[in-house]
Amino acid sequence: MHKVLFHLLKSNKKNPLNYNLEKSLSAHDIPHRLIATGSWSLPVGTNRKFAGSVNRLVDGFIGGWEVSGVLTLQSGAPLQVSQSGGTLWNGTQRPNLLSDPSTSGRVQDRLNQYFNPAAFSQPAPDVFGTAPRYLGYRGPGVRTFDAALLKRWRVKEGQSAEFRLEAQNATNTPIFNDPAGAFGASNFGQITGTRIGPRNVQLGFKYYF
């Protein structure tokens, strides 16, 4: 019996004495995700609703414009906590979960305390903590909008030119990383960065032939 228990402890990072603690949400559990795309050819220029009879030179400036965008809305992923400087000789020690760690309010107002650190405590040496693999509490979600403005010119039969103005994260909305999850570390529960950078604009020109 002792040899069997020793083998379990040696070969498994889970707590073989309490498998209920290993029941949790998946690390990749995303319950809500919406991606909406669309494009619109502006009704201006030759053979269009507005200014449809302008000459070719004017149409080269005001006609043939198109706008498009991609909107992404997504829930955050479940958070995982660990024990900084854990004392388990085999496996990863987790802290004790004492209460619901969730807080409320805008993410940018909770960067220094995204969840309540007082909801956790340090387990005794060589003792498994009571926190599950992944909490039922989630990190920040994703909300981005990418946009593009493009213009095409017909040069001659089979040839055309295209100008593109593209903006990633066009609304310049900060998309924050998950908070630090190592209990006992000085930044536990703090968000210190973003997963998607600020607005990025680029210009492009293509010639098709």
Which tens digit of pLDDT belongs to each residue from 154-187? 788 888 888 999 999 999 999 999 999 999 999 9
Q: Tokens standing for 82?
A: 């660990």
pLDDT tens for 17-35 read 677 777 888 888 999 999 9
DSSP sequence for 147-162: EEEEEEEEEETTEEEE
Contact 50, 60 (CB under 8 A): no
Give me the residues of the chain with pLDDT under 50, please. Answer: 1-13
Q: Which DSSP letter does residue 148 get? A: E
Residue type at position 110? R
Instruction: Give me the pLDDT at residue 8, please.
Output: 34
Instruction: Quote the pTM value.
Output: 0.75
Contact 14, 91 (CB under 8 A): yes
* Length in residues, the chain: 209
CB atoms within 10 A of CB 105: 8
Residue 85, SS3 per DSSP: coil
Task: Determine the Cα–Cα distance for residues 104 and 32; give it in Å rounded to an integer.
Answer: 19
Backbone dihedral angles phi then psi of residue 164, each to the nearest 5 degrees = -130, 135
Q: Which among 136, 96, 84 has a CA at the least distance from the CA of 120?
A: 96
Task: Determine the Cα–Cα distance for residues 148 and 65; give it in Å rounded to an integer.
Answer: 11
Instruction: Give me the pLDDT at residue 2, please.
Output: 39
Instruction: Give me the pLDDT at residue 16, please.
Output: 67
Task: Determine the Cα–Cα distance for residues 114 and 178; give it in Å rounded to an integer.
Answer: 9
Contact 199, 169 (CB under 8 A): yes
Q: Where are the domains of the chain?
A: 71-208
In 76-143, which residue ranges form alpha helices assigned H by DSSP?
none
Q: Which among 108, 176, 100 has a CA at the least distance from the CA of 139?
A: 176
Task: Determine the Cα–Cα distance for residues 93 and 121; give it in Å rounded to an integer.
Answer: 12
Residue 208, SS3 per DSSP: strand
